[in-house]
Amino acid sequence: MDIDSNKKQSRRRDENYTDGEESKRKENIKSTSTSDFSERTWKEDFTLIVENKKLYVSKAFLALSSPVFDRMFQSDFKEKNQTEMELPDKKVSDMQDFLRCIYPSIMADISDQNVFSVLPLAVEYQVSWLKSKCEAFLMSKLNDEISTDYLKNMLKHAADYNMKDVLAKCTTEISKKPVKDVDCFLKTESLPLKIISTIQDNMLRRLEQSEKDNARLEAINRYLVSGIKTEQQLDLQKYRGWTGKSIEFTLPVEDLGRYSFPRPKRFELFDADANYVVKNTGSPNANSLRLEISLDASATKNVRITVLGQFVIKNLTQKNENYTSAFKMIFYQGRSEQSINLQNTSVLFNVTEGYIYNDAMSVEIHLLLEKESLK
């Protein structure tokens, strides 16, 4: 056997060993990640008692992770010689979430499910890197799709735990929410006067800008209407009582695979929760896009909502015009989900046509909306 063959066999053994070790490590992490700290091994020499439940932990590891625990276990504190400690003001589930995030064998990720339970404990026990991790996660959640309730919860935590960047972004985003929601929130929640003033100032600026935009649009509308025939003006007048909504987003091509299941995205419609999603429902030989819009069932109670829309995919070259497809949807009680098949969409998937840039499409959905009472 030559030297090259020996090297190849040795490399193959190393790769198999590495793969096996990595697989074993992942299995260990997976089995440990669901740990509730209710079982003691030789590694655990200390017990935290939370809501009458015992959590078995390593005193040395707690001291290394937290300056607060480190001070507790020093000679000047009674906890030094104790083997257990009761935490009367804590919830067992919160403490388990916290321990899962700091234990090296687990290192659970911060998520929607644990961020608001882990953050207070990270601050209390001075685990600075975990607080920063929570802060980074919350910053990543701040976008136009965030729900009002989630944003309120985030704002309270940002104020309570001195997260300046999150707080500044929260005050900006919450001022974009419906006035009645913000007004209700400010009346029911106890917030520092400075934060309340900032939110109100942001809302005032937004309303002033909205008035300017409305005046500008009204002037443009009158200019355009004055130049068309009377019968066409009448057609425009019937939409004066309607409201409008525009949505802009980037649509990754990978989400449009025939076997992919893109997650619906949230928006607000008449102060109610709504969702939209774009799917590829085509055959193996032809791509075909479908737009689905769903409303919260309560939004259609005793009303009928008519939606006239334009679905637009921008063309980023001079070769073709933007793709547009008009549609109409009607929502009423018992019919809160609607879908429409968009026409002639196969051309969009041809990269040379200019609708795909950086593996994504730039999409706009423009809606005209009318709500009619059925009482």
Cβ–Cβ < 8 Å for 168, 142 = no
40 located within any domain = no
Q: Find residue 203's DSSP bridge partners.
A: none
pLDDT at 188: 76
pLDDT at 31 over 80: no
Residues 108, 57: one domain? yes
Among 140, 155, 182, which residue terminates a domain? Answer: 140
37 located within any domain = no
Tell which residue, 115, 118, 68, 112, has the closest CA to residue 94: 118
Residues 175, 192: one domain? yes
Residue-averaged pLDDT of the chain? 81
pLDDT at 6: 46
Residues 150, 129: one domain? no
pLDDT at 17: 40
Residues 119, 198: one domain? no
pLDDT at 195 over 80: yes
8 located within any domain = yes
pLDDT at 212: 83
pLDDT at 29: 41
Residues 332, 253: one domain? yes
Structure tokens at 264: 């619906």
Q: What is the pLDDT of residues 271-324, one digit of tens each?
A: 778 899 998 887 666 778 889 999 888 888 888 889 988 999 999 887 788 999
pTM score of the predicted model? 0.54
216 located within any domain = yes
The mean per-residue pLDDT over the stretch 15-28 comes to 44
Q: For residues 286 and 374, which has the higher predicted lDDT (pLDDT)?
A: 374
Query: What is the number of domains present in the chain?
Result: 4
pLDDT at 97: 94
Residues 226, 258: one domain? no
Domain that holds residue 342: 243-373
Residues 228, 106: one domain? no
Residues 346, 265: one domain? yes
By percentage, how much of the chain surpasses pLDDT 70?
83
What is the C-alpha separation between 218 and 209, in angstroms, rounded? Answer: 14
Residues 133, 155: one domain? no
Among 236, 261, 284, which residue terminates a domain? Answer: 236
pLDDT at 25: 40
Residues 222, 284: one domain? no
Give every strand in the sheet of 289-295, ordered side by side.
265-269, 272-280, 289-295, 337-341
Instruction: Tell me the residue ranges of DSSP E strands in 51-156.
Output: 53-57, 84-86
4 located within any domain = yes
33 located within any domain = no
DSSP letter for 287, please: -
166 located within any domain = yes
Among 207, 236, 265, which residue terminates a domain? Answer: 236
C-alpha separations of 186 from 144, 152, 175, 207, 295 in Å: 20, 10, 11, 18, 27
**φ/ψ (deg, to 5) at 4:** -60, -40
Residues 227, 276: one domain? no
What is the C-alpha separation between 277 and 270, in angstroms, rounded? Answer: 19
Residues 76, 158: one domain? no
34 located within any domain = no
